[in-house]
Structure formats: C-alpha cells, structure tokens
C-alpha cells in the first residue's frame, strides 16, 4: 500500500519512460537484468512508462498507452523505425521527452533489421509471408536519430548493464554520461586478455568496434564480431587488410560488417574497400600497414 508520504515523495522524483520500436526487447530487458540495482533505482526515478514491466502510467494506475502522455524527464528508446506509424510515434515521444537516449544497435544504427536496406523489401516480405499485401512496412530500417534529435546514443546489441546504469545515473546527476569512445582492444588490455589476433591469428573486429562489453569475445577465444558498432573513426582500410591476412574472404568480411550494425555510416565504406582490396591486392595506400612478406 502506498502511504501518503510515499506518494508525495514519488511525485517529486524524475520520470523515466522506456519505449519499444522494431527490436528484440533485449535492451529494455537489460534494465530488468540490473537485479541488484532495480529496486533501489525505483526509489530514485519514477518509472512512468515501461510496458515490458508495468501497465500503470503514473500514480493512480491509469492504463498505459502505446504513445504515452508525458512529459518524461528521460526517455530510453529501443528499436529502429520501420513503419509509417512508428515514424510518427517517435516524433510524439520526442515532444514529450526532456531527454531522449537511444539504447542499443537497433535504435542507434537501425539494428539487424536494417539488412533490408541492402535488399528489396518486397522480396523479403514475399519470402516470409504468403500474403505480403497484409504487411505494411517501410523500405528501410532507420535509427532514431534519422527522425528526431537524440541526446545520447548507447551502443551495443545488447547494451551493457553497467553502461546503462551510468547513463541513467548521469542523467539524474545532470552530467554527461562517461562512456568512453575507444575500441574493444582497450578493454582487452584492461582485462588482461592476450590478443587473439596476435597469438592465434583469429580474425577480430576489436580495433574498429566501440568499447562497452568489456571485451567478452576475445576472453572466450572468439574474435569480436562488432556487436557494439563502430568506434568514432574506425580505420577500416587497415582493419580489412588485417582480416584478409587472418584468412577472411571478401564475402566473410562483408558479412561480418553487415550484421547487427549494418547501416551505421562508419561501416558503410566496407563494401567499397573490400572490393578495392580484391581488385588491387597489393595496393599500397598510405594508411595501410605493410604486409608481412
């Protein structure tokens, strides 16, 4: 039961809303995966809209709506924009949100569903549905920032729990989240993992992938496959050369960049660069490291 005092306190707390667009729910689930912090967090923010967890919107338990009423102090947005209705809904959500933070590769880079951007969506529709005409969808899957201004983008497929907590706490404290822009390689060093590329010649996207996961894959003996998306200015030319040296074919290289962050502008040149590499196998451009003989 709510006490009067409890209600009064809750009224003054900053409000949080969590929204879903085209996605797998993994990023919002990350919030519920903060088992140790979850109940404490609900004493510091009022979760006003979070359908995966709650049907109530605000005190009084009124029913939640798909587009919410607001205003909200902080909106976390998961998922990419793939339908005409969603393109409108995100505008509304922006209007009723003081700060809007995207969570995850879908909301930040279009997600895996952006693979449609490289093909013919009508063909996809026909491949999955017997009656494609029943299905309405946009030609593309686009990140939230292609539609509305975004205050902060949190990378990852899925996002990292610790980084999410940092983003929320930073907002509560009115400061900028401390999410470093360096690569997974830095986290490997910090973790003390021996570089699997150097030690075993395992192809790894760590050098061009945004930090945040804590360098999980190399610690498990697997090359990074880029689920956190690009670092600020990835040196793709030298990355591609390295991947080729480590035995990846052109198709493999294209495929690995075209998965969970396929539509990110930083990774886009990969297609051209990989083709270029193939045409001129010994092309000696200036930023390309020397090949071992």
Q: Cis bond leading into 189, ω under 30°? A: no
| Closest CB 143 distance from ligand SF4, rounded Å | 11
Taking Cα atoms as reference points, which of 144, 159, 171, 176 lies closest to residue 74?
Answer: 171
Cβ-proximal residues to 17 (8 Å cutoff; 6+ apart), any chain: 47, 48, 49, 50, 68, 70, 72, 74, 75, 76, 93, 97
Site string for ligand SF4, 95-124 (x = CB under 6 A): ---------xxx----xx------------
Site string for ligand SF4, 209-228 (x = CB under 6 A): x---x-xxx------xxxxx
**Binding residues among 166-185 for ligand SF4 as defined by CB under 6 A:** 184
Please name which of 3, 6, 50 lies closest in space to residue 29, comparing C-alpha atoms: 50
Interface with ligand SF4, residue 143, by CB under 6 A: no
Residues in touch with another protein (CB under 8 A): 1-2, 6, 20-30, 32-33, 35-36, 38-39, 42, 47, 51-56, 61, 63-66, 82-83, 86, 111-113, 115-116, 119, 121, 123-125, 127-131, 134-135, 137, 157-158, 213, 216-217, 219-222, 225, 227, 252, 255, 259-260
User: In whole angstroms, how far apart are CA 225 and each of 63, 210, 242, 277?
Assistant: 41, 11, 14, 20
In the list 57, 78, 153, 277, the residue contacting ligand SF4 (rule: CB under 6 A) is 78
**CB 107, CB 78: distance < 8 Å:** yes
Backbone angles phi, psi at 148, to 5 degrees: -140, 160
23 binding ligand SF4? (CB under 6 A):
yes
State which residue, 15 or 209, has the beta carbon closest to ligand SF4.
209
- C-alpha to C-alpha distance for 16 and 13, rounded to whole angstroms: 9
Q: How far is the CB of 134 from another protein (least distance, A)?
A: 5
Comparing CB distances to ligand SF4, the nearer of 46 and 270 is: 270
Binding at 228: pick from ligand SF4, another protein, none (beta carbon under 5-8 Å per type): ligand SF4
Could you say whether residue 142 binds ligand SF4 (CB under 6 A)?
no
Instruction: Pick the closest to residue 27 from 67, 79, 94, 89 (CA basis).
Output: 79
Span between the terminal Cα atoms of the chain, in Å: 74
Question: Which residues of this chain interact with ligand SF4, rule CB under 6 A?
Answer: 23-24, 26-27, 78-79, 104-106, 111-112, 157-158, 184, 209, 213, 215-217, 224-228
């Amino acid at each position: 039961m709510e006490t009067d005092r409890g209600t009064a306190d809750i009224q003054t707390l900053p409000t949080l809303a969590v929204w879903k667009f085209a996605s797998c729910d993994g990023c919002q689930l990350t919030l519920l995966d903060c088992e140790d912090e979850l109940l404490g967090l609900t004493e510091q923010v009022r979760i006003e809209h979070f359908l995966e967890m709650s049907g109530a919107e605000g005190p009084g338990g009124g029913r939640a709506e798909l587009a919410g009423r607001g205003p909200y102090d902080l909106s976390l947005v998961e998922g990419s924009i793939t339908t005409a209705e969603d393109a409108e809904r995100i505008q509304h959500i922006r209007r009723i949100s003081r700060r809007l933070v995207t969570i995850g590769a879908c909301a930040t880079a279009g997600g895996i569903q952006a693979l449609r951007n490289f093909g013919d969506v009508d063909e996809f529709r026909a491949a999955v549905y017997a009656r494609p005409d029943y299905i309405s969808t946009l030609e593309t899957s686009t990140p939230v920032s292609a539609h509305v201004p975004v205050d902060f983008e949190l990378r990852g497929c899925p996002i990292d729990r610790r980084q999410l907590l940092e983003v929320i706490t930073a907002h509560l404290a009115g400061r900028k989240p401390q999410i470093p822009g360096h690569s997974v390689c830095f986290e490997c060093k910090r973790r003390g993992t021996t570089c699997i590329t150097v030690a075993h010649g395992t192809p790894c996207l760590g050098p061009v992938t945004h930090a945040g996961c804590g360098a999980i894959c190399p610690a498990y003996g697997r090359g990074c496959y880029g689920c956190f998306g690009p670092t600020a200015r990835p040196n793709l030319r030298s990355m591609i050369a390295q991947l080729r040296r480590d035995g990846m074919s052109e198709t493999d290289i294209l495929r690995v960049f075209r998965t969970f962050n396929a539509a990110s502008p930083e990774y886009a040149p990969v297609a051209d660069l990989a083709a270029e590499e193939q045409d001129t196998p010994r092309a000696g451009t200036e930023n390309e490291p020397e090949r071992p003989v």
